[in-house]
Amino acid sequence: MGVDKHDQGHELPTPEPDSPSLPRSRQAYRFSTLCATVDNPNPNHKDQHGSSSVPIYQTATFKGVGGEYDYSRSGNPTRTHLEHHIAKISSANHAFAVSSGMAALDVITRILKPGNEVIAGDDLYGGTNRLLTYLRTHMGVVVHHVDTTNPSTIIPYLHPGKTAMVLLETPTNPLLKIVDIAGISSMVKEKCEDAVIVVDNTMMSPYLQRPLEHGADIVYDSATKYLSGHHDLMAGVITCNRDDLAKQMAFTVNAVGNALTPFDSFLLLRGTKTLAIRMDRQQSSAMLVAQLLQQLGFVTHYPGLPGHPGKEIHERIADGYGAVLSFETGDKELSERIVGATRLWGISVSFGAVNSLISMPCVMSHASIDPATRAARGLPEDLIRLCVGIEDPADLLDDLRLALLGAGAVTRSANDFVRIPNAVNRAVEKLALGEPLVHRQRTKENREWFVSAPGKVILFGEHAVVHGVTAVAASVDLRCYGLTSPRHDNKLSVQFTSINDYYHEWDLDALPWDAVAPVPPGDSHPETLDVELMKAISDRALPPASEMPPKTHAATVAFLYLYMTLTHGDERPSFNLTVRSTLPVGAGLGSSAAFSACIASALLLLHQRIEVPPIPAPTRQATESDPGHVHISHQGRRAIPPAIADEINRWAFVSEKVLHGTPSGIDNTVVVYGGALAYTKPGFGRKAGMDKIKGFKSFKFLLTDSKVPRDTKALVASVAKKKTEEPQFVKNMFDAIQSISDEARRALDDPELSREQLLSALSSLIEENHCYLASLGVSHDTLECIRSKCSEPPHKLSTKLTGAGGGGCTVTLVPDDFPATQLHALSAALRAENFDPYLTAVGGSGLGILSPYNSDSSTSREAGTFTGPITPPETPAGGDISLQTLREQFSSVGGDQLGQWADRCGRWLFV
């Protein structure tokens, strides 16, 4: 970082000489000297025996009246020495030592009152997040989590008179993001002068960063970490310069009684003496480790690396880069193997000790943050955190290399270690097949792959989601099903049963292969579509769109686009794809996304880019009514590994682009992962990603297909045009819709809200959301007619459009106690107007794949009975597709029985 600031004198107090007769001519002591010097200038604190180490006053009480000490909870000489020392090295006037870092934060947050608002980062230590959640839930404190690395995200939440505290970490834990303490402090004070700036400085310690010098009001450290350095005690320290804040916190420490014990104060004093020398060794070794991981190609988070976001800001406010770093492998199981393969690196939470530690934050230090919140905040499940100690760096590097090698993340070259390409796919294949792909000969795929994906409803936020507003969506219990049946006649065919029973087949050699640029296995599709390939497919492989039934042209282009792009080498699987749906097609219920997820999963399987591992043992016995169907909930253990689900979702999004041009990404995401989620599109300032809503309860909805077609692209374009022409009006609409989405998420996540209160809140939000969408011009007369039918007495149900609007479908919330006879009458009234109502539930499983690992039950299949699970069968010699009994039954079973029939086919693996 250029000049080493530790070699410069700090403007920190230098102890006066013992004899007043000696002249004061020394320069200010440097930090490492201050660390080792634990003198207290107060003459009352001089040890009568001249002990070179501060004595331990291991007593609860003190004799006498009117003395400085009477009870160790309120004050103790050993702790006083410690607090003076901590204040000295922290550029502080006041310091408090308490029982832990979280106890320190607890003392600080007791400054807050009900109704106060707190702004906090979105990449926080798990314990901090837990305490803030408690304050929000039980103490009436409003907490806003924002990306504090971008100061502009704070501005909308600065409310004079309400914003009481801004809580920062820098670097953050565990993604090592950088926060501009000085910039944010200045910005906050300008608008909310009473707000208190609090900084968790644990990651840096006072040696590398002193936030009070940069505008912070209160700083706290978990002294268990670097200040102690040996993990043999628990402690927390608080520092500040404001007398008023110090008075409030001193009262709390004394009243609560969480001050640090005399013996632990002695140990912490001892630890701080070596702080500088320990951290010098630790951060120099951390730089070597970070450089190794980056050279191997891992995404590595460390402020000292070139190109680290915020590096310039960090160097302005800190004196070093610290000794904590993290890196991503791309696969959670691979990360687990790496962590388990280390020997010198201890597997443990925490950091700051002389011993090096390794951990996976999402399953250890940050496990208290629910997975959905972790995902929304961009915390990778595969992240590995390294906390570098004082061991010889050569030994640390060697142990890490061997762990990476043993886990299958790297391989040896002639002179060095090299990362294995496509490590994610390799890891999944090793789990599923027990051997690397390179040792396995590719074989012709003879199985029938049966896949399915649910539809979706956007409950709140459609249209606005394209422009960065959070949308709340859920899967529905209506599904799209796809079945691939092998054929070895060098032909490819599709049958869209639900779209005019459309059928088309191609000679594989006649497809426009000269126009395709295949995406190699393991690589991602480019951001933009291959326009030349799409044109070649339309012009050379299909009749004109006007000569094909509606919707079939786009669906076929999407299918061929994925098939050809995924093809690699000379492997061109010959098969038939049959697609059926219990979803109304084109009604705005995610039928295109469900179709996209089905073709993506089927083609990835057929091209052998993903492998499905064996299904877990069933958790219950098959019964006559449930012959072997094991439902793996999206909230429980996933039978389809996350890496495979992510790959399917990426390619489903490609298909959605072919179908819709610029989709938001929410449709394919919810149909792949299932359940309910809040989705924010990247690129609009808010934290992007999906946030699974764990508290989502099952609700009944009446989905009504207006049978009026709508042009999604045109409707999305019309809102974009309105945004250009009337920016402030549309911004106000978007802000209002964002508030509705936020309120819906809070209500769904609130465990104390009664079912009746929740339904009432959702009902009001549905009505309000629809009004804003109508103001944006995306409703339709038929949708308003359906709303009128549902809202008129005696029904009085809340209804809104969903999806693109302009026709399509409405969603109507049905209360739990809504009479069945009344619902029947409403459905009949809607049918009388030529609408199609569907009573369903929301929030079920996501994408499913029929397990190919069960024993065959062809006899029962051919007989049309289902007494056991079905296995996708081998194609008979010659490839006569007429013999595919599973396909025959799939094509012929009644539409009202399709879902039940599919459930009884066998063991489904679900995301």
| Residues with active-site annotation | 73, 125, 200, 225
Give the amino acid at 766: I
Roughly how many angstroms between the first and final C-alpha of the chain, as a whole number?
47
Token pair in block for residue 616: 């877990």
Helices (H) and strands (E) in the chain, counts: 27, 27
User: In whole angstroms, what is the distance from residue 411 CA to residue 415 CA?
Assistant: 11
Radius of gyration over every alpha carbon of the chain, rounded to an integer in angstroms: 32
Give the amino acid at 331: D
**3-class DSSP assignment, residue 477:** strand
Q: Order the strands of the 799-802 sheet from edge to edge.
A: 799-802, 809-814, 700-705, 836-841
Q: HSE on the CB side for 42, CA within 13 Å?
A: 9
Beta strands, E only, 502-557 = 502-507
Residue 173 · residue 708 · CB < 8 Å:
no
Token pair in block for residue 788: 């009128």
User: In whole angstroms, what is the distance from residue 12 CA to residue 84 CA?
Assistant: 12
**Integer CA distances (angstroms), 572 to 108, 135, 487, 488, 651, in order:** 64, 59, 12, 10, 18
User: In whole angstroms, what is the distance from residue 561 CA to residue 798 CA?
Assistant: 41
Token pair in block for residue 851: 């397990």
Token pair in block for residue 617: 């043992």
Residue 361 · residue 379 · CB < 8 Å:
yes
Give the distance, in angstroms, between the CA of residue 325 and the centroid of all CA atoms in the same chain.
Answer: 19
726 Cβ neighbours under 8 A, 6+ residues apart: none
User: CA dihedral in degrees (624, 626, 629, 631; nearest 10)?
Assistant: -160
User: In whole angstroms, what is the distance from residue 758 CA to residue 400 CA?
Assistant: 51
Token pair in block for residue 80: 């006083």
Question: 406: burial class by Cβ within 10 Å (0-12, 13-18, 19+)?
Answer: middle
DSSP 365-429: TTTTS-HHHHHHTT--TT-EEEE--SS-HHHHHHHHHHHHHHHTSEEE-SSSEEEPTTHHHHHHH
Report which of 434, 441, 437 is spatially closest to residue 422, judged by C-alpha positions: 437
Q: Given phi > 0 = left and psi -120 to 50 = alpha, else beta, which region is 346? A: beta
Token pair in block for residue 882: 């007429």
**3-class DSSP assignment, residue 251:** helix
Report which of 18, 49, 13, 53 is spatially closest to residue 33, judged by C-alpha positions: 13
User: In whole angstroms, what is the distance from residue 112 CA to residue 136 CA?
Assistant: 11
Give the amino acid at 231: H
Token pair in block for residue 789: 């039918």
Token pair in block for residue 542: 């299909």
User: CA dihedral in degrees (548, 554, 555, 556; nearest 10)?
Assistant: 70
Give the amino acid at 442: R
Give the distance, in angstroms, between the CA of residue 213 and the centroid of all CA atoms in the same chain.
Answer: 34
Q: How many other β-carbons are positioned within 10 Å of the β-carbon of residue 316?
A: 14
